[in-house]
Homo-oligomer: A and B are copies of this chain.
């Protein structure tokens, strides 16, 4: 049975502040056995990275399997038990929601937890409790998976985060001056940049990344309805000086600052998996080590791995998480 791409009409995302669609297409991978039997299946929710979304996980490329192809292969070779894989779409006009609620971007956390999860349980033959549910992802998706698992241990029973955004001091802050350099071309005015952004014939130019990523994160971590753009930048757009109050709001969402507070939730999880490449261009291996260190000190069972690679094109690591999640989901 092929992957089905469902159309989901979200009440929560309707009228979201960035004008993003509230109707989203959600691919759902169903294992081969799904069509022919009556049994129920565990569900893995797979969150995309920055600028990603569910359907893009079905994109074909010369050298990389799609998520369904990967799951099929791992299933065929007996390494992964049958599971449903749900691929949400939480993309925004700025490139991503971090799977959080924000007055600037929309209520994506609510959408995920309060809309998608129940809908999946209604729509498919799932194991409809936390033990049967895992959440995973890479990069911003790894961030989302980790944070959502901590915040909703009643919903998710296992988590795997690959190269997830962690230790914002190293993964975001070094981009601030680069963002400032770009904003300077727009008179240091983020509104003006965003108007230009919407009209750019292409948005893939590498020099744009630091700027749009910083802006997207500001919309997620420091929304402020009393501003024209709906969020506070963590720095003065002319001098670049950090705004400590805004920056602290960001840091409050940094996984390295969330673990201790959510220790009880994390302890309830069947699997806590995190990994990162030792040459990650965003230096995420350091955040992962800090998180792993905290888990260890808090005596929370977890698997922490490093591998010799950078941040990009590391989907082959899903082979590892799919297998581990599959075992965790199979446990009674």
A residues within 8 Å of B by Cβ?
51-53, 55-56, 58-64, 91, 95, 167, 169-170, 173-174, 176-177, 180-181, 184, 201-205, 238-242, 256, 278-279, 283, 286, 289-290, 293, 309-310, 312-316
Contacts and interface: CB of A to CB of B under 8 A. Distances in A.
Given A174-B173, A240-B283, A279-B181, A202 B63 contact: yes
6 contacts: A51-B61, A59-B61, A63-B204, A181-B283, A202-B315, A202-B316
B62 A59 contact: no
A56 B181 CA distance: 32
Contact of A53 (B62, B174, B205, B278): B62
Contact of A239 (B176, B289, B314): B289
A262 to B, nearest CB: 19
Nearest to A289: B239
Interface class of chain A by DSSP: loop
A8 to B, nearest CB: 16
B177 A286 contact: yes
Given A60-B53, A63-B51, A63-B202, A177 B241 contact: no
Contacts of A283: 177, 180-181, 240
9 tightest A-B contacts by CB? A240-B286, A174-B174, A204-B313, A177-B283, A59-B59, A63-B203, A202-B313, A239-B289, A51-B62
Nearest to A92: B62
B201 A62 contact: no
A72 B283 CA distance: 42
A60 B51 contact: no
Contacts of A180: 283, 286
Given A240-B167, A289-B238, A55 B60 contact: yes
